[in-house]
Amino acid sequence: MFVFSFKLTKAKISLAVFCAVAIVITATAAADAAGKSSVTMRPVSAVTNEDRVEFLTSAGWEIEAEPVEIKEITIPKVFDAVYTEYNNLQKACGYDLSAYKGKTVKRYGYQVNNYPRAGSSYVVADVLVYDGKIIGGDICQTSADGFMHGLSGIDEVREALASMPTE
């Protein structure tokens, strides 16, 4: 059996506190990085239709230049299960609708013409805008057996689809 003893000094205590703080900061940064997508969207101006079109085309989407739908929606003050899941989808893309609870935002829907494997299905890119900035959105197929995912770029979608079996 081994017994270790040591004398506590102010320097040793300071070193221990410094190491503990460094470990907490490193663990927090690692957890934060693990919880985010590799692509984090930065706030983008969306005051004009051209701004929104540029945002979507810069991600590789070929869209119709005019929105197929413009709708005002109110983000609920309390998220139910559906909105919680939708917000998780937003968080995976670097957005978070929590700060907009109770706010009325505009949703602009644009027809996507180059979605891989969409065939003749109708695919829409929805962009949520508040105070002239894009705060979230999704890409969705409007058919009954459709899909929805966050505002990822076309390259990420192609990569994900490449790993899935074709029908």
Give pLDDT, residue 90: 94
Per the CB < 8 A criterion, the answer to whether 159 and 153 are in contact is: no
Give pLDDT, residue 163: 77
- pLDDT tens for the chain, 167 residues: list them: 544 444 555 544 443 333 333 333 333 333 444 444 334 445 688 999 999 999 999 999 999 999 999 999 999 999 999 999 999 999 999 999 999 999 999 999 999 999 887 776 789 999 999 999 999 999 999 888 888 999 888 888 888 777 776 65
The amino acid at 17: V
Report the alpha-carbon distance of residue 61 to residue 54 in Å, rounded.
10
Its pTM stands at 0.71
Report the alpha-carbon distance of residue 114 to residue 111 in Å, rounded.
9
Give pLDDT, residue 145: 82
Q: What are phi and psi of 100, to 5 degrees?
A: -110, 15
Give pLDDT, residue 127: 97
| Residue 83, number of CB atoms within 10 A of its CB | 15
